[in-house]
Structure 1
Amino acid sequence: MKNYIAGGFMIGAIALLQASTAAAETSEIRAAQQYGLSSLPLMIMEDAQLVEKNAKKLGLDDLKVTWLKLGGPGAMTEAIVSGDLDFGAGGVPSLLTLWARTKGLPMEVRGVGGLVNMPMELVTTNPKVKSIRDFTEDDKIAVTTVKVSNQALLLQMAAAKEFGPENYDKLDPLTVSLPHPEAMAMLLSGGNTIMAHFSALPYQHQEKKDPRVHQILSSYDVLGGPASNTVAYTTKRFYEANPKAYAAFVAGIKEAVDLINKDKRAAAEAYKRITGTKESVDELYAMIADPQVEMTLTPQQTLKMATFLHQIGRIKVAPTSWKEFFFENVHDLKGS
């Protein structure tokens, strides 16, 4: 009889423990996205409430997702580190900087997965500039955040190739932090404040409609092929404390990516409706359907960026595999 009572007590205790564990999961996910087509999967997730949909499948019926729109990785980094944000999305340099800064801490940041491979282009209105070697101190280059953004790092990698590794930061004094919409407006205004913009879709498409604008560099030139433009990330603390909420967010990304890849015209229509952008649906469809653009969870060329960041002393940790700074849910993918 004592054994039966003890067994019953143990079963009850386990049930209570499981119930308390489930109850301990967050009731709200705070996520952020930036501007442009690189955030399209996140926009679809928000618009179609894909995280909430997948949360219900996992037993989280009342999970709320609050979305923020941030103009650059600087604000995203601060929000993640302070605990005011659960999921961020930005360029690979932001992820790597956060990972190296927090490695070994409860708030360690790792990648959730890629979102999109998309070329970023450095464009200018200065007819004298044919390559980055032609920039002078009068040419101001807009990037989303100086030194730490995707574009800022790519400019440094390009400078290292052009001027030698020791001069990787030669063009840094020319860079200015601006969200893409503001940078485009200033570039096309005809003034002399911003003469170049390391841009992204759809802004680079809009900019190149102006006959004064020409491209001098692509991110694919710098990295040697298709590369992750934007990745999603969160903290190890959130990952471990909220396995179902985390799984729901990852499932939301996958579903959004699958929806976009299945019907790119519908995705273009959704982007047009959500953002109110000036481009037509046909123009947006052409961008999304471009062979160089790929919506995918698979991280690409991320280790190459990590190696460069370590070489210039920006991060103190030298990873040997991209899997070190991404969570296990993408480890079976053919990343790099």
Structure 2
Amino acid sequence: MKHFRLTAALVLGMAIGTVTPALAEVATVRLAKQFGIGYLPLTLIEEQGLLEKHAQEAGLELRTEWLRFTGGSGMNEALLSGNLDIAAGGVGPMLTIWARTQNNLQVKGIAALESMPLYLVTTDPEVQSLADFNRSHKIALPAVKTSIQAITLQMAAEKYLGEGRHDALDAFTVSMGHPDAQLAMMGGRSEINAHFGAPPFQNQELKDERAHKVLDSYEVLGGPHTFNVIWAKNEFVENNPTVMAALMAALEESIGFIRDNPDKAARIWAEVEATNLSHDEVVDLITDERVNWTTAPQGILPYVEYMSRVGLISASTDDWRDVFFDMVHDTEGS
């Protein structure tokens, strides 16, 4: 990341030395996030005022507006309609809008937030593998066919059930935000009996003896992969270089804080999210050896290849940098 820091510092320095570019940029940035510990870097940016801080250091008085969504498709609609500047969600929704806008708005990823495993959990003791799901099952996930959970489920179906069966479980999936999905499955009073979720919801579910894990996304992908990313329109990125440099600086500071102060980061997140997890449980989530807090995209190309091959997106590439703006091109992404 050293090269980017120099680039960001140069941009910030130019902004300080030249007032006009900063004044020409937006005065308010509208950002979105979803539920879960995977959005911790954004939570810290919001709670600690890091974006405003770095923008001010660059000579720009900036306000932020934070919106909360339950899935990536809703954020994409808000982005396209001009009601959102920076979206945050799973790789699936980002790739969907990337492919859709290549010839016009040119939406791309800005940076990753972390690499983190996702679990498919069920309370049905008869379900031990994907082959055991049938019409009596309903699998809750953030957005049918477009969320990273939905895409990973299709990839898993192809891998474990056989070629041509990638959509075998689609009819059993239901769009539902993680908090509602957890309540529905664990409450036992709805048709939801499986949830392809994310931390901390999957971890809370597995604490109950009625629940067990059916699928692990790292096993499907053959290794670690990015869970959440942030993305934006090309026009916004090009017209707001100071804001973007400040955002990357804020991301680096928040991720550094997570690594150096997991205890404090856990307290901030727990207070904001009003979780019923204990402090030690939140710290364990943050410091999990399978989790990597980083802006470097990881495991992006398997998703691109799969989604292109089965027709979920109309574009493809063999270079992950084509999917992201140049702020992270010098990282060790994949």
Is the structural similarity TM-score above 0.5?
yes
Length-normalised TM-score, structure 1? 0.92
Q: Spell out, residue by residue over 1:23-56, the C-alpha distance to the aligned partner (whole angstroms, 9 max, x if none).
A: 2210010000000001110000000000000001
| 1:163 to partner: Cα distance | 2.3
Matching residue's letter, 1:67: W
Mean CA deviation greater in 19-28 or 121-130: 19-28
Where does residue 135 of structure 2 map in the other structure?
137
Q: How big is the shift at 1:218? A: 0.6
Structure 2 match to 1:275: 273
Aligned to 2:49: 49
Letter paired with 2:80: V
Other-structure match for 1:243? 241
Q: Would the aligned equivalents of 2:130 and 2:161 in 1 still touch at CA under 8 Å?
A: no
**8 A contact 2:178–2:197 mirrored in 1:** yes
Matches within 5 A, 1:197-212: 197-212=195-210
Identity %: 41
2:311 is the alignment partner of 1:313? yes
Aligned to 2:27: 27
What code does the residue aligned with 1:196 have? A
Contact 2:92 2:151 in 1 (8 A): yes
Q: Which runs of structure 2 are paired with 1:74-93 in the superposition (5 Å)?
A: 74-93=73-92
TM-aligned CA deviation for residue 83 of structure 1: 1.3
Distance in 2 (CA, whole Å) between partners of 1:91 and 1:119 is: 12
Distance 2:300 2:80 in 1: 21
- Structure 1: segments with no counterpart, 5+ residues: 1-17
Which residue matches 1:64?
A: 63
Match of 1:194 in 2: 192
Q: Give SS of 1:31's match.
A: strand
* 1:175 aligned partner, one-letter code: T
Measure the CA separation in 1 of the matches of 2:255 and 2:280: 20
Corresponding residue of 2:37: 37
Asked if the contact 2:307–2:313 (Cα under 8 Å) also holds between the matched residues in 1, the reply is: yes
State how far apart, in whole Å, the 2-side matches of 1:186 and 1:19 are: 53
Note the alpha carbon deviations across 1:250-272, whole angstroms, 9 max, x for none: 11111111110111111111111
Count residues in correspondence. 317
Partners in 2 of 1:22 and 1:270 — Cα distance? 31
Unpaired runs of 5+ in structure 2? 1-17
Match runs of 1:205-220 below 5 Å: 205-220=203-218
| RMSD of aligned alpha carbons | 1.0
State which drifts further: 33-42 or 247-256.
247-256
Q: Map 1:119-268 onto structure 2 (within 5 A).
A: 119-268=117-266
* TM-superposition CA deviations, 1:189-237 (whole Å, max 9, x none): 1124101000111101111111110001111011111110100111100
The range that moved more, 160-169 or 67-76, is 160-169
**Bigger CA radius of gyration:** 1
How far apart in 1 are the matches of 2:55 and 2:163?
Answer: 47
Q: 1:19, CA displacement in angstroms?
A: 5.2
Contact 2:19 2:59 in 1 (8 A): no
Q: Deviations over 1:280-330 (max 9, x none)?
A: 111100111110011110100011100000000111111120000101111
SS of the counterpart of 1:317?
A: coil
Quote the Cα distance in structure 2 between the aligned partners of 1:269 and 1:220.
28
